[in-house]
Amino acid sequence: MEIFLDSSDIKEIKGLNKANLVDGITTNPSLLASANTNFKILLKEICGEIKGPVSAEVTSPDIPSMLKEADVLRKIAKNIVIKVPLTWNGLQVCSILSEKKVKVNVTLCFSTSQALLAAKAGATYVSPFIGRLDDIGENGIQLIEDIKKIFNNYKNIKTKILSASIRSIEHFNAVAAIGSDVATVPVKIFKELHKHHLTDKGVDIFTADWKKSGMKILT
């Protein structure tokens, strides 16, 4: 499973990318607005740091404006993926861009029917939102599993499932077990993925035993 960071914080992105574990980035209008800087310059810097796909979202509701914004975003860097909402206009824009071999991430997906329509429109990625479904008492993880089953039924579907709105390590582990192609996680969650209390305990035991021995690896 590929791991994307859901972030527009270039300092954090650079720091976490040092281990070469970040496969891509997802941004949205809220994240870019919170950065309080020129979004084109910021996206270009992010695309220079991360060699994988970087999703950047259109903000207009109508098709002509969406397409114009997509053209602007595409010129920022070669690894930009155009992000569109799962609206009727968004699906039409996805279809138009996909026919031009432009990579598209269809976001704000909350049902299997939506995911299937995004796939038929040629989406490179479809982004189901787990946490937001959980917030209203529905099962976000179940949605990922259902989409996976549907996509597996049809060999002609090439759309990747990009699990989004991940709120916990449990969410991350669950979508990985289901077989989500991608999980995009906030920086806070990403920093927790490698941690386990038994790992910390084991390191402490090994370190204490080694110190008692008096031996050294470096002399």
The amino acid at residue 83 is K
Task: Give residue-wise pLDDT tens across range 133-145.
Answer: 999 999 999 999 9
Q: Mean pLDDT throughout 47-56?
A: 97
Beta-carbon count within 10 A of 129 CB: 19
Residue 65 has pLDDT above 90, yes or no: yes
* Rounded Cα distance, 59 and 104, in Å: 14
Q: What is the pLDDT of residue 36?
A: 87
Given a contact cutoff of 8 angstroms between Cβ atoms, the answer to whether 82 and 104 are in contact is yes
Task: Kindly tell me if the per-residue pLDDT of 25 is higher than 90.
Answer: yes
Structure pTM?
0.95
Name the band, by pLDDT with cuts 50, 70 and 90, for residue 13: very high
pLDDT at 219: 79
Domains of the chain by start residue, with CATH = 2-213 (3.20.20.70)
**Quick one: pLDDT at residue 184?**
98
pLDDT at 191 > cutoff 90: yes
The predicted-structure confidence for 66-78, as pLDDT tens digits, reads as follows 999 999 999 999 9
* Length reported for the chain: 219
Flag whether pLDDT at 12 surpasses 90.
yes
Q: Which residues are catalytic?
A: 83
pLDDT of residue 156: 96
Please report the pLDDT score of residue 8 as a whole number: 96
Tens of pLDDT, residue by residue over 73-118, are: 999 999 999 999 999 999 999 999 999 999 999 999 999 999 999 9
